Amino acid sequence: MVRIKTMISQGLARPNSLSVHLLSAALIPLWLAMMGTTQAGTPTIDPLEMQAPTLAQPLTAPLISVARAGDVLVGVGLHGLIQRSHDNGTSWEQVPSPVSSDFVQVRFSDARNGWIVGHDSVVLHSSDGGATWVVQMDGRKLFSLLGSVYGRRAEQGDQEAGDLVQEVNRAVATSATPAVIPAPLLDVLFDASGRGFVVGAFGMILRSEDAGSTWQPWLERADNPRRMHLYGLAERNGTFYISGEQGVLLRLEPGQQRFEKIETPYTGTYFGIAAFENLLLAYGLRGNLFASVDDGQQWQQIETGIDTSLVSIVEQGPALVMVSQGGQLVSLDLHSLKVTPLVQTRVGEVYAASDTKQAGRLVVARFAGAKVIDIARAN
């Protein structure tokens, strides 16, 4: 997923209008590659109306994200690819997907309930451990939702809502597929009660209190006036956090019902954030890792010795394994914050990683598909 995130982060200028973002010449080639359009902008397929193609076995297609659901591993990738493994990542089988949009993240809140997000503002949900999936949100539904919510407020004289309606309308006018918001959703997270969020490009935030059955837009409820891309979500004891580009880090304040900015010493992109008991970790470009033990009031930089972007943090007993885009691995002690180098494996470019049910083994998502790796301390 970090490649997609990096392209979005580095390829766009920062004007104030969402519609101008979508017209960026840097992003158009990405859409052409990802969305099946011609150079003239004419859609060749509608990915929201087409199921994912069936691939030959064994699966070696690009995999962008992977997660564990109980005893099962689930991976997602380009053109609607969803796959599962029942043997800790040794072998994989494809499962049907209702859309062929590109997926960039998969998450599970328990062994049965999981969500996938990706391009064309897609959100899929599974209630059976990833065996079957249904659409909860897509670019058409989102266009209608934003128009309804902000349109109603605009009619009541809300100027901010009126500006949002105009931005959304101009943005959709540039879409290759009519009445679809094509921008990607980049992360999704629910707590055990079914309360959660999705975040994505151009500052998109959607909230649900019923496990994704219904959604409410929260674009205006975040300290993100420049619509920075939002890449990662974390949750601890009912508090949600968001990470994004250009140093954006946000924390949900329940009383105000909005995401407020957390000041950090870093102005580069945070691809992810992780929340543990009395510890926040924000990570991103070029191996940058920052830790806070007081809920974001103060931060210290952790020297990882990694020179490529960090893409995942995986729990391994009392330690965390930091995984980089270049396949570099280090272990971080949860208490002392001491970094220990791990033996490096030649796996190629890595987009994400997950634990398996086997101690000392991780599964990584790569362009060539999933791969299980053994981790050990470097000599």
- What is the gyration radius of the CA atoms in the chain, in angstroms? 20
Q: Which residue has the higher pLDDT, 30 or 5?
A: 5
345-369 tens-digit pLDDT: 788 899 999 999 888 899 999 999 9
- The contacts of residue 192 (CB under 8 Å, 6+ apart) are 109, 110
Lowest mean pLDDT among 129-143, 174-188, 267-281: 174-188
245-288 tens-digit pLDDT: 999 999 999 999 999 999 999 999 999 999 999 999 999 999 99
Tell me: pLDDT of 18 over 60. no
Mean per-residue pLDDT, 216-243: 96
258 vs 207: CA distance, rounded Å: 11
* Sign of the CA dihedral running 132, 48, 123, 142: negative
The predicted structure's pLDDT at residue 378: 59
**% pLDDT > 70, the chain:** 88
Q: Which residue has the higher pLDDT, 265 or 21?
A: 265
Residue 316 — pLDDT band, cuts 50, 70, 90? confident
Tell me: pLDDT of 20 over 90. no
Tell me: pLDDT of 313 over 50. yes
Mean per-residue pLDDT, 41-51: 75
Tell me: pLDDT of 127 over 90. yes
Residue 13 — pLDDT band, cuts 50, 70, 90? very low
Overall CATH class of domain 2-374: mainly beta
Residue 218 — pLDDT band, cuts 50, 70, 90? very high
The predicted structure's pLDDT at residue 58: 75
Confidence (pTM)? 0.89
Tell me: pLDDT of 9 over 80. no
243-253 tens-digit pLDDT: 999 999 999 99
Torsion of CA 8, 12, 17, 18, to 10 degrees: -20
Partners of residue 261 on adjacent β-strands: 250
Tell me: pLDDT of 104 over 50. yes
Tell me: pLDDT of 78 over 70. yes
**% pLDDT > 90, the chain:** 76
The predicted structure's pLDDT at residue 214: 98
In three-state form (DSSP H/G/I as H, E/B as E, the rest C), the secondary structure along the chain is CHHHHHHHHHHCCCCCCHHHHHCCCCCHHHHHHHHCECCCCCECCCCCCCCCCCCCCCCCCCEEEEEEECCEEEEEEHHHCEEEECCCCCCCEECCCCCCCCEEEEEECCCCCEEEEECCCEEEEECCCCCCCEEEECHHHHHHHHHHHHHHHHHCCCHHHHHHHHHHHHHHHCCCCCCCCCCCEEEEEECCCCCEEEEEHHHCEEEECCCCCCCEECCCCECCCCCCCEEEEEEECCEEEEEECCCCEEEEECCCCEEEECCCCCCCCEEEEEEECCEEEEEEHHHCEEEECCCCCCCEECCCCCCCCEEEEEEECCEEEEEECCCCEEEEECCCCCEEEECCCCCCCEEEEEECCCCCEEEEEECCEEEEEECCECC
Tell me: pLDDT of 10 over 50. no
* Sign of the CA dihedral running 174, 177, 180, 182: negative
Residue 2 — pLDDT band, cuts 50, 70, 90? low
Residue 317 — pLDDT band, cuts 50, 70, 90? confident
Mean pLDDT of the chain: 88
Q: Which residue has the higher pLDDT, 8 or 93?
A: 93
